[in-house]
Amino acid sequence: MLGRNRLGVYVSSERDAKPNMMVSYLHDGLLLGSSKVAHIDPLLIDGRHFFNAAFGGAMPEEIYNFVERFGKDEKLILIGLDFFMMNEKAFPYMPETFRDNQKRGTFPYLFSLRVATDSVATLYMAGQGRQVAVALAGNRTRESAPPSTKEQIEDNRKTVRKMLATKHYADVHYSSRRLEDLKRLRNLMDERRTRYVVFINPLAPDVI
């Protein structure tokens, strides 16, 4: 809460939690992108002290706003993009995320129902010794064991394929606005002389 949570992040929107988390985590580089990137442990990357600022369903306009507002002093920013980000029909345009005018006041934050329920859930799970959902370095922790049997792996693939077919890549409306946001992001980092690497998140052969 307000950057003073010492128990760890058990239940929270990554969009709410990570701007506060990165303030207290010593780093000189950022990882940004969708949930695929959010699972990367930055401690495994040599050469820099990275904070994983990625969040589920991240869109280019949100990544731009995040870097503009919170990424001013980074030496290197790694950005993972997904093809589904350009489908504006499935993922509506969200230009206000992380903007200054979206900052909530202290009173409504402290007394909101969601914050109250999240706080109670955090106290309960910490008392039970549960694993935090987000590590101090910003990466997601594994909530459960990965599928191991052939049946579990195939069931998982079917679920992913169905999601991709019915939402991510169904009736695609290509977003030219997001292409412009990526250009603005590149220009912003060039102006700040921030080094950056942009990569496309890998797709499994059965998805391609």
Q: Take residue 50 and report the two structure tokens written for it.
A: 């990275």
Residue 150: Cβ within 10 Å count: 8
End-to-end alpha carbon distance in the chain: 41
Written as one letter, the residue type at 27 is: H
Tens digit of pLDDT per residue, the chain (208 long)? 444 455 455 445 788 889 989 998 999 999 999 988 999 999 999 888 999 999 999 999 999 999 999 999 999 999 999 999 999 999 999 999 998 754 444 455 455 544 555 555 454 444 545 566 788 899 988 655 566 788 888 888 888 888 888 888 888 899 999 999 999 999 999 999 999 999 998 765 444 3
Q: Take residue 94 and report the two structure tokens written for it.
A: 């969200």
Q: What is the pLDDT of residue 156?
A: 81
Residue 57: Cβ within 10 Å count: 14
CB of 86 within 8 A of CB of 178?
Answer: yes
Q: What is the pLDDT of residue 3?
A: 45
